[in-house]
Amino acid sequence: MTEENKDLQLGDIFTLDDEDGEPLGDFEVIAMFDLNGKEYIALVEAIEDEEEEEELEEEVDIFVFQLDKGELVPLEENEENAVYEKLNEVLEGIELIKEDE
């Protein structure tokens, strides 16, 4: 899977393509973090309007990839548990910041 923007930041929205170059949809960057010397990125499907956001607020699929030289690389099976554990820590930190605002 690839994406064209090499300088992704939190909140960025971009179209993600599959291996054949077919668009999978628009995704938003919700977290970026390092683990064991590798960089990871967490994405959710981009929400187009407030009504859709309210419907999806309870359950959201999060997709995590390794970032390698600007390319999105699927996680290897042996790293999934550690990566998702770290993602949970990152997301909890984001929630704490939002609560303090």
Could you tell me what percent of the chain has a pLDDT over 70? 75
Tens digits of residue pLDDT in 5-38:
457 888 999 898 888 989 889 999 999 999 999 9
Please give the torsion angle defined by the CA atoms of residues 56, 48, 63 and 83, in that order, rounded to the nearest 10 degrees.
Answer: -80
Average pLDDT, the chain: 82
Tens digits of residue pLDDT in 77-89:
999 999 999 999 9
- Secondary structure (DSSP) of 35-49: ETTEEEEEEEEPP-S
| For the ranges 31-35, 43-47, 90-94, the one whose mean pLDDT is highest | 31-35
